[in-house]
Homo-oligomer: A and B are copies of this chain.
Amino acid sequence: MAGNKTVVLVSRPAGMVSEDIFAVADLDVPTVEDGQILVRNQYASLDPGIRKTLAETNTYWVPTPLGAPLTANVVGEVIESRHPGFQSGDLVVGTGQLQEISAFAPGPMCWKIDPASELPLSASLGILGATGLTAYFGLIEVGQPKVGETVLVSGAAGAVGSAVGQIAKIKGCRVVGIAGGPVKTKRLVEEFGFDAAIDYRGKTREQLEAEIRLHCPNGVDVFFDNVGGIQLDAALANMNWKGRMAICGLISEYNLDGPPAPMQNLFSIVGKTLRVEGFLSFVYADLFPQALREMEQWIKEGRLVWREHVEDGIESAPGVFVMGAFSCSANVLPVSTSW
């Protein structure tokens, strides 16, 4: 019968992702298993984390089999439910597939959206979804910033990073962001209210260390890392005694075909008694409702802004994902997310 456009994985990437490892296929509408819901997706989010599902093996994400639909966070309307907590007509966000209609079991990252909300549905894939919650819990629960402390953010112009910086400002911190190129660094200061921005492009580890030192004259208390590599290494050299490093992702390594650069400053972990902690937002699922209310309030007060990049039609997903992986930002499809 078909009628369900889907982006499938054709081959596994070696190094950078290129469009030709994906294909758009016309699949059947999936059968709904017990405990699942069937959702007509309005938006799908092209988060950089999808990159981790493309490899044959990895430490955490379930690998996508060749020929299978890509995993993606989606938002849409329930059209059939075999789960007691959901019924047809509910608006939901959850981890489904990059296709027009997908079936999935609601997990900790799945919840209903109030149809009366004034915010666009796509916000649940960005600032009021996985990316916003990752920023919120990574910064607040792992980083534990205190008023007057300095927070450094890598991947700062991305969906997560830009939210981290704004929340850190709301919490009374000095906030410095690292991003690639003058457009993004300008945006950090002018649009997202960072105190200073550092362009990592073309810089060695030593140069990054010096530039962080320049913009963080009192040292770094909290580093929120999306990138890893020499940015993490340069941050290590600038951490304060008892600093916290919230490790959200290591984008710089995802597309590497060879080994990453050696880490030169790991001894700071001992010498400055640092806490380096990885996290995944779903472990805080019990606290989501409260965090979403708080962030929605900040949005209404104009203290928390976000960007979306939305394109029409599922066919554009491979191209947008490749662009996103390239620029270390998140995008969406048939539609959107913040970046």
Residues of A in contact with B (beta carbons under 8 Å apart): 52, 58-61, 228, 237, 247-250, 253, 259-280, 283
Contact A278 B283 (CB under 8 A): no
A278–B237 Cα distance when bound, in Å, is 14
* Besides A247-B270, A253-B267, 5 new A-B residue pairs in contact (Cβ under 8 A), listed by A number: A58-B271, A59-B267, A228-B266, A271-B280, A273-B277
* Alpha-carbon gap, A268 to B264, bound state (A): 19
* Nearest-CB residue, chain B, relative to A237: B59
What is the bound-complex CA distance between A266 and B249, given in angstroms? 10
Chain B residues in 8 Å Cβ range of A272? 59-60, 278
Q: Assuming A270-B250, A270-B279, A272-B59, is B260 touching A262 (CB within 8 A)?
A: yes
The docked-state distance in angstroms from the alpha carbon of A267 to that of B259 is: 13
B283 touches A270 (CB 8 A): no
Are the CB atoms of A275 and B273 closer together than 8 Å? no
Q: Is the CB of A266 within 8 A of B283?
A: no
A6 CB → nearest B CB, Å: 26
When A271-B60, A272-B60 are in contact, do A262 and B264 touch as well, CB less than 8 Å?
Answer: no
Number of this chain's copies in the complex = 2
Q: Would you give the shortest CB distance from A333 to chain B, in whole angstroms? A: 24
A248: nearest chain-B partner, CB-CB: B270
Bound form: Cα–Cα A263–B262 in Å: 6
Point out the residue from B260, B267, B279 that lies within 8 Å of A273, measured CB to CB: B279
Query: Residue on B with the closest CB to A253?
Result: B267
Are B279's CB and A277's CB within 8 A? no
Contact call A250/B276, Cβ cutoff below 8 A: no
Q: Is the CB of A266 within 8 A of B253?
A: yes
Closest to A236 in B: B59
Shortest C-beta distance, A275 to chain B (Å), equals: 5
Chain B residue contacts of A261, Cβ below 8 A:
262
User: Roughly how many angstroms separate A261 CA and B261 CA in the complex, as a whole number?
Assistant: 8
| Residue pair A280, B275 in contact (C-beta under 8 Å) | no
Nearest CB in chain B: distance from A106 CB, A: 21
CB pairs A–B below 8 angstroms (9 shown): A58-B271, A59-B265, A228-B266, A228-B267, A259-B262, A262-B263, A270-B278, A273-B279, A275-B278
| Complex Cα gap A237–B58 (Å) | 10
Pairs A-B, 5 closest by C-beta atoms: A60-B271, A269-B278, A59-B271, A259-B262, A270-B278
A247 contact set on B, CB distance < 8 A: 269-270
